[in-house]
Amino acid sequence: MTPLEFHDRALEHARRVLIDVDETFEFLLAALVVGGNVLIEGVPGTAKTLMARVLAALVAQIPSSSQGIEVKPFQRIQFTPDLMPSDILGTNVFNAATTTFHLRPGPIFANIVMADEINRAPAKTQSALLEAMEEHRVTIEGHPLVLPPVFLVIATQNPLEFEGTYPLPEAQVDRFLFKLLVGHGSEQTERDVLRLHHRGFTVGEIESAGIQPLADEQAVLGVRQQVASVAVDESLMGYIVGIERATRTAPEVHYGASVRGGIGMMSAAKALAAFAGRDYVTPDDVKAVAPAVLRHRVMLKPEAELDGVQPDHVIARILANTAVPR
């Protein structure tokens, strides 16, 4: 299966239950095929969890990991102030009959993990995801365990103005490939959602809408290899670095993107190019992914925030002022 075929078939299935979110879902597909993680910010009721469930439904279940631990295609973790790291990773449990300890794995052992309202848990619990997101492994009581090759964290957060939210640690934010912003759709979109539910659709039964797995682990890894082989010209690498470095020198910015942001722009641009059926990246691919890759990596100065400046404003100006390679 080519990246273009996977992209088109996945969008065709997703449109059966997702209304007017093609761009957001395309970024989720891009994260899946480059091995990234996604942070989605939006108010409740904007289909964040549904998008994650649809993505998981498109990937065939993988029976177990290399350690013999059952891996589920999708796990949802509801983050709350009293959630503990062991609730995510798992713990060793004593078996009185055999007088031995055995691992009770946590919900982290899944292909797609939905960390719902991640900013409602304190930093200690949020940081339990750091090793998993960066190295695709976890350490439980000193023992490292490898996560499945197809592994993706999709975290949602409410805007910080909401009561009971905590800011995410900067180190964790930088582990997300994309930060996607979702809001309420247009009036027509909401009408279409009502029609869908009127016809009997329920969020808990997305399979009833005809959404079936399109790819197993090997197929997803095959698509990843094809995306990784997409060509990036040296001039485009210079363009990416120029954008990345400009985020650090903008007058409104306290600190900007690290080199991880540049790597993210290149990887994501390769995914969009492959989804379009091309084996090379263009400047337009970089421009298309830059806001989603950079907005959570641009930390504004307090006075800029008071003036109503948003990271996307800074990124748009940088893209407009950075010379595009010919």
In the chain, what are the domain boundaries? 3-223, 230-321
Q: Would you state the CATH architecture of domain 230-321?
A: Orthogonal Bundle (1.10)
Tell me the per-residue pLDDT of 239-261, one tens digit each, with 9 for 90 and over.
999 999 999 999 999 889 989 99
d(CA 280, CA 311): 28
User: CATH code for 3-223?
Assistant: 3.40.50.300
d(CA 113, CA 55): 11
Give residue 250's identity as a one-letter amino acid code. A
Percent of the chain with pLDDT over 90: 41
Q: Which helix (H) or strand (E) holds 111?
A: strand 110-116
Rounded mean pLDDT, 35-63: 84
39: DSSP letter: E
Tell me the per-residue pLDDT of 161-216, one tens digit each, with 9 for 90 and over.
566 667 777 778 888 999 999 888 788 888 888 888 888 777 767 776 778 888 88
pLDDT-derived band at 20 (thresholds 50, 70, 90) equals: confident
